[in-house]
Chains A and B, each alone.
Chain A
Amino acid sequence: MMSELSFETYRDYIAEHLEIEPEKLTYETRFQEDLELDSLDLVELVSALESEYNLEISDDELMEIKTLGQGYEIIKAKLEANKTTG
């Protein structure tokens, strides 16, 4: 079972996916305004995160993800839920 997901690991994965420097990403970074991702970019990113962490993010949850931090909290919570149930 993997240990708790650190923000840095999550951030580095996103940086690699988006081909940008990890240092440019913070907890507060906004996907749309700061990174200029459009809705398709975001769907693609979330789909990659789902594969990476082996979990599912619903469309309603997707709509809530505006910042790196919000995505991190959702994924972390799901991983922990999986840990307790699995």
Chain B
Amino acid sequence: MRRVVITGMGCITPVGNDVPSTWASLIEGVSGTDYITAFDASEFRTRIAAEVKGFDPVQILGSKLAKHNGRYSQLALTAAIEAMNDSGLELEKEDRERIGVLIGGGIGGLEVIERAMEALREKGPKHVSPFAVPMMGVNMAAGNISIMFNLKGPNLAVTSACSSGGHALGEAYEMIRRGDADVMVAGATEAVITPLGIAAFSAMRAISERNDDPKTASRPFDIDRDGFVVGEGAGILILESEEHALRRGGRVYAELASYAATADAYHMTAPDPDGYGAALAMSLALKKANIMPQEVDYINAHGTSTPLNDKTETKAIRAVFGEHADNIPVSSTKSMTGHMIGAAGAVESIVCVLAINHGIIPPTINIFNQDPECDLDYVPGVARRKEVKVAVNNSFGFGGHNACLVFKAYKQN
């Protein structure tokens, strides 16, 4: 099987509109949560979210492209431009039929659906935009990226709620391994800070209602956590077969060494209280790459800040890593970015790669009173210097989906 390496990265998040600014915020422990500006949320139980700030899609994409892409797709295109530039790929010299695109997302163009519904109700069926269909489907980010760069390889979306990013990268990795493509533009995107999005998550009592203190609302592993904070953003990685990257002299950030996916098969939204499915994903991913639990230097947790996830994930990590669990720093990026739903796993994979590259582990912020049922080393408050050779990224989604990715410092054989 071919090895798969990461040669380019791009992201846009609630704490930075590209990779360098996002990373700088994450190692400083900056919270991206604030009051919702996208719409008037004054009547909502939750009035806070982690929005992308200062994003002007017209400036980046031009007015026509901006107008004809849902926000989730605008974010993906923006991150894809950064990732492509970062990779140094010279597309005019490449075989474009060997370059594919796989972009995950939990929902798609939710604001497009809401606008279309409004037009339908208020003005009638004739007034629904002809762009409603090509702007609402979660597949269109992948389609639009292929059009922008003229990439003719495999092209699709995967969707698995909050684990879409993990699955997208994992499935793109498998496509390269099995030889369907040499390069994959892979990642995930989400933009659901809309009236329906917030109302629906709120109806589940899944999201924090800490309206009086937005910056501390996302507090994974803290005893007073009261749900996640809805975030938005996109993370895109350029995955490449090792052989292809070396041949063109591309800079290699790290190796994507393994991927495993499992299901809880337990409940629509609640995780299996034993964490069996999550633990199974982690142990399968380690086994597939022949990595011993003791070799893992860092776990980027799913760490949502919901009462159920954080203790179940802790249990799952203990089940897989045994006594070594106490020696592994585990941090939650979502404490700062909020939960970017489908995009989370992709952005958090970039965090794993940067932790390997810089030897720095970003913290979990807002742990004021650690939950006794969450008894791992969560890197509270302050980033930590540590050599990271192997990093594990967890993503779990409503529906009981679990995805686990393993990143390794790259070493040529």
User: Using a CB–CB distance below 8 Å, which chain A residues touch chain B?
Assistant: 19, 40, 43-44, 47, 50-51, 56
A40–B130 contact, CB under 8 A? yes
Contact check: which of A19, A40, A51 meets B127 at CB < 8 Å? A51
A51–B123 CB distance below 8 A: yes
Report whether A44 and B126 are in contact in the complex, using a CB–CB cutoff of 8 Å.
no
B327 sits at the interface (CB 8 A): no
Asked whether A47 lies within 8 Å of B134 as measured between CB atoms, the reply is: no
18 cross-chain CB contacts under 8 A:
A19-B63, A19-B64, A19-B67, A40-B130, A40-B131, A40-B134, A43-B130, A44-B129, A44-B130, A44-B131, A47-B126, A47-B127, A47-B129, A47-B130, A50-B126, A51-B123, A51-B127, A56-B126
Query: Whole-angstrom distance between the alpha carbons of A19 and B131 in the complex?
Result: 17
Nearest CB of chain B from residue A49's CB, rounded to whole Å? 12
Query: Which residues from B are CB-within-8-Å of A19?
Result: 63-64, 67
Chain B interface bracket (under 10, 10 to 19, 20 to 34, 35 or more) = 10 to 19
- Cα A47 to Cα B126 in complex, Å, equals 8
Main secondary structure, interface of A, reads helix
Least distance between B19 CB and chain A CB atoms (Å): 31
A23 to chain B, nearest CB (A): 17
With both chains docked as a complex, state the minimum distance between the C-beta of B130 and any C-beta of chain A, in angstroms.
4
Complex CA–CA separation, A50 to B63 (angstroms): 23
From residue 27 to 67 of chain B, which have CB atoms closer than 8 A to chain A?
63-64, 67
Q: How far is the CB of A65 from chain B (nearest CB, A)?
A: 15
Distance between Cα atoms of A60 and B134 in the complex (Å)? 24
**CA gap between A18 and B67 in the complex, in Å:** 10
Which residues on the B side are within 8 Å of A47 (C-beta)? 126-127, 129-130
* Chain B residue at smallest Cβ distance from A50: B126
Q: How far is the CA of A44 from the CA of B127 in the complex (A)?
A: 9
Q: Which residues of A contact B130 (CB under 8 A)?
A: 40, 43-44, 47
Instruction: With CB as the reference atom, state the residue of chain B lying closest to A40.
Output: B130
How far, in Å, is A15 (CB) from chain B's closest CB? 13
Neighbouring A residues of B134 by C-beta, 8 Å: 40
4 further A-B pairs in the complex, CB-CB below 8 A; given A44-B129, A47-B130: A40-B131, A44-B130, A47-B127, A56-B126
Q: How far is the CB of B69 from chain A (nearest CB, A)?
A: 13
- Give CA–CA (A40, B135) in the complex, Å: 12
Q: List which B115-144 residues lie within 8 A (CB) of chain A.
A: 123, 126-127, 129-131, 134
Q: Tell me the bound Cα distance from A56 to B124 in angstroms.
A: 13
Instruction: Tell me the complex Cα distance, A50–B124, Å.
Output: 13
Q: Identify the closest chain A residue to B63 (Cβ).
A: A19
List the B side residues contacting A40 at CB < 8 Å.
130-131, 134
B144 vs chain A, min Cβ distance (A): 14
Complex CA distance for A43 and B126, rounded to whole angstroms: 10
CB closest chain-B residue, reference A45: B130
What CA separation (Å) do A51 and B129 show in the bound complex?
Answer: 12
- Chain B: minimal CB distance from A51 (Å): 7
Q: B131 — which chain A residues lie within 8 A by C-beta?
A: 40, 44
B44 to chain A, nearest CB (A): 30
How would residues 63 to 87 of chain B score, 1 for a CB under 8 Å from any chain A CB and 0 otherwise? 1100100000000000000000000
CA distance A32 to B130 in the complex (A): 17
